[in-house]
Amino acid sequence: MSQFDLVVIGTGPGGYVCAIKAAQLGLKVAVVEKRATHGGTCLNIGCIPSKAMLHTSELFEEAAEHFEDFGIKVGKPKLDLKAMMGHKQKTIDGNVSGIEFLFKKNKVTPFHGTGRILAAGRVEVTAEDGSKQEIEAKSIVIATGSDVAPLPGVEIDEKQIVSSTGALELDKVPGKLVVVGAGVIGLELGSVWRRLGSEVTVVEFMDKILGPMDADISRNFQRILKKQGVEFHLSSKVTAVEKTGKQLAVTVEPAAGGEAAAKTLEADVVLVAIGRRPYTSGLGLEEVGVALDERGRVKTDGHYQTTVPGIYAIGDVIVGPMLAHKAEDEGVALAEMLAGQAGHVNYGVIPGVVYTSPEVAEVGKSEEALKAEGISYKVGKFAFIANGRAKATNHTEGFVKVLADAETDKVLGVHIIGHGAGEMIHEAAVLMEFGGSAEDLARTCHAHPTMSEAVKEAAMAAFAKPIHA
Ligand code: FAD
Ligand code: NAI
């Protein structure tokens, strides 16, 4: 029987990072993964392939719609979807093989198969051919991630009715795409297919898109997407999808109910993107006494320990935003704790990015959250239309919004819609990690001409007055 200090079940961003960090800190580490390749949802069917498709579809639209604005005449670009998918696959392959390399480099022992916890300290691995082996380890980490949340009554076949996985694999551009859920997946993948030529209609249960995001950002971003041609049915729900040959009939009702007000939308493909749920199936958690919460997430304490000593959990399978970087940071923190160090994740400063065009990024609190908490705040805003670099590159859409404490000037939240927002947000994150103020941000010299100058100007607007507005 193989003996280790630590065995990690699942090699997504949570699991692989935890394993590597623990090995770097001197622990003898094994990982168990049931997929053929490491990297989990993120590298295989999530973050990485979606960003490859977002990038290539953005280039396609740039060439088709915007090159002429800059005096570049290349004619109408032709889509080679197979080659585009080839780039996506090459990106996945490069990333997942990178993890294999890092495991070797850090002497992490990989086991391929499905892991099941037999007891604290014991994990059984069942390979695809049914053969079993047992691993012993002082600590076990559950990093099994999440899976697509189903829409009751609508069966996903990954061809016509797809989840994000099928939406990243379509072999032709759907004429009409109906997206259920105006969350991150719906808007990112809806954007991909719209740019490639689909008519996209989004049906959302709530009265706003991107649910928990700042309402000002949500409202403005919806306007931008509408201008791009995305149709929205808010406060609505899909109650049925009927297949009639190659066509789909999608029944949409008001969220509050009411068959009388039902509408039917035609679609070639329906993308179900109504959230993800923690994945714990087959782990044997009930038998060993690892408790789940009311939403099926593994319950953990402040040190990521489950209700069974020696068994820990991190990432999508526990409470918190289902984000790769949140899972990674928990992986590092837990590895440090297991190695006798102090690990810590600051949940108040986890950036969120929607990789559409323009991008949407946020860190810290929204105005709604500050109001709900009774915190008095000031708002500094700066629009990219007044930014020189944005003008030069035709990326003038969107704005930066800085929320700072009314009394102390401490930055409490930063929200950006704009080209490159996902990169710009990190200066706000670093500032907030150090408890910085709007004045700190406003007085930090920013290179000219950059989009980031809008972040500085928004901070100036919160603390005094911007120069360029
Ligand atoms: P996962 O990545 O889900 O990995 C869990 C691993 O455990 C899987 O490989 C699974 O096969 C394995 N496993 C499960 N059970 C067992 C078992 N019993 N035995 C062995 N192995 C097992 N997040 C971002 O931050 N940025 C993005 O841009 C982004 N884009 C996304 C796009 C899409 C389309 C999707 C679906 C998700 C996206 N996410 C993004 C979310 C991100 O993928 C997840 O938050 C992240 O993957 C969670 O990491 P994890 O390690 O907790 O779990
Ligand atoms: P989500 O939670 O972001 O959005 C789901 C949306 O569907 C919500 O707006 C919800 O109100 C709506 N909804 C729920 N039930 C509905 C119904 N019956 N009819 C209509 N609308 C309904 O979930 P999503 O987009 O599926 O993404 C899952 C997870 O993956 C997210 O937690 C996200 O964090 C992560 N992710 C992150 C990305 C990023 O960081 N860029 C990219 C893609 C995914």
What confidence tens digit (pLDDT) does each residue in 374-416 have? 999 999 999 999 999 999 999 999 999 999 999 999 999 999 9
Say if residue 373's pLDDT is above 90: yes
**What pLDDT shows up at residue 83?**
98
Q: For residue 439, what pLDDT band results from cuts at 50, 70 and 90?
A: very high
Our mutation pick for probing the ligand 1 site, out of 8, 42, 316, 425, counting the most ligand atoms within 8 A of Cβ, is 42
Residue 146 annotated as part of some ligand binding site: yes
What's the whole-number mean pLDDT along residues 276-301? 98
Active site (catalytic) residues: 448
Query: SS3 of 351, please?
Result: coil
The whole-number average pLDDT for the span 432-452 is 98
pLDDT band at 214 (very low <50, low <70, confident <90, very high): very high
Cβ(352) to ligand 1 under 6 A?
Answer: no
324 assigned to a ligand binding site: yes
Annotated binding residue 51: yes
Atom of ligand 1 nearest to the CA of 41: 2
How many angstroms separate the CA atoms of 273 and 184, rounded? 8
**Hey, what are 401's tokens?**
């919004």
Q: Which residues line ligand 2 (CB under 6 A)?
A: 151, 180-186, 188, 203-206, 211, 237-238, 273-276, 321-323, 353-355
- Residues 142, 316: contact at Cβ < 8 Å? no
Which atom of ligand 1 is found nearest the CA of 42?
43
Position in ligand 2 atom list of the atom nearest CA 209: 9
Would the pTM count as exceeding 0.95? yes
Q: Is the pLDDT of residue 433 over 80?
A: yes
* 299 Cα: distance to centroid of ligand 2 (angstroms): 22
Does 316 belong to an annotated binding site?
yes
Residue 146 Cα: closest atom of ligand 1: 3
Structure tokens at 276: 């993800």
Question: Is 452 a pocket residue for ligand 1 (Cβ < 6 Å)?
Answer: no
Asked whether 145 lines ligand 1 (CB < 6 A), one says yes
**Is residue 401 within a helix (H) or strand (E), and if so which, with residue range?**
strand 399-405
Cβ of 88 below 6 Å from ligand 1 = no
In the prediction, which pLDDT does 258 show? 78
State pLDDT tens for residues 118-146. Answer: 999 999 999 999 999 999 999 999 999 99
Cα of 48 to ligand 1 centre, how many Å? 11
Distance (angstroms) between ligand 1 centre and the Cα of 197 equals 29
Residue range 277-295: mean pLDDT, rounded: 97
What's the mean per-residue pLDDT of the chain?
A: 97
Check the annotation: does 145 bind a ligand: yes
Write down all domains in the chain, each with its CATH number in brackets: 2-148+277-338 (3.50.50.60), 161-274 (3.50.50.60), 352-463 (3.30.390.30)
The 10s digit of each residue's pLDDT in 355-365 is 999 999 999 99
> CB of 144 closer than 6 A to ligand 1?
yes
Q: Which of these, 374, 348, 367, lies nearest to 434 by C-alpha position?
A: 348
Supply the residue whose CA is at minimum distance from atom 12 of ligand 2: 181
pLDDT at 121: 97
Angle at 233 between CA 229 and CA 235, to 5 degrees: 150
Q: Of the ligands numbered here, which is closest to the C-alpha atom of 37? A: 1
259 pLDDT more than 80: no
Q: Alpha helix locations (H) across 237-323?
A: 285-288
Q: How confident is the model at residue 246 (pLDDT cuts 50, 70, 90)?
A: confident
275 labeled part of a ligand binding site: yes
pLDDT in tens, 291-322: 999 999 999 999 999 999 999 999 999 999 99
Strand ranges (DSSP E) for 208-367?
231-233, 236-244, 247-254, 263-267, 269-272, 276-278, 311-313, 352-354, 359-364
ipTM of the complex: 0.99
Which ligand has the minimum distance to the alpha carbon of residue 186? Answer: 2
Judge whether residue 2 has pLDDT over 80. Answer: no
- Take residue 463 and report the two structure tokens written for it: 């603390």
What pLDDT is attached to residue 257?
A: 84
The phi, psi pair for 465, rounded to 5°, reads: -135, 140
258 against 157, higher pLDDT: 157
Counting atoms of ligand 2 from 1, which one is nearest the CA of 164? 26
The ligand that comes nearest to the alpha carbon of residue 13 is 1
Rounded to whole angstroms, the maximal C-alpha distance in the chain is 69
Q: How far is the CA of 65 from the centre of ligand 1 (A)?
A: 34
Given this model, what pLDDT does residue 107 score? 98
Residue 204 annotated as part of some ligand binding site: yes
Cβ–ligand 1 distance for 146 under 6 Å, the answer yes
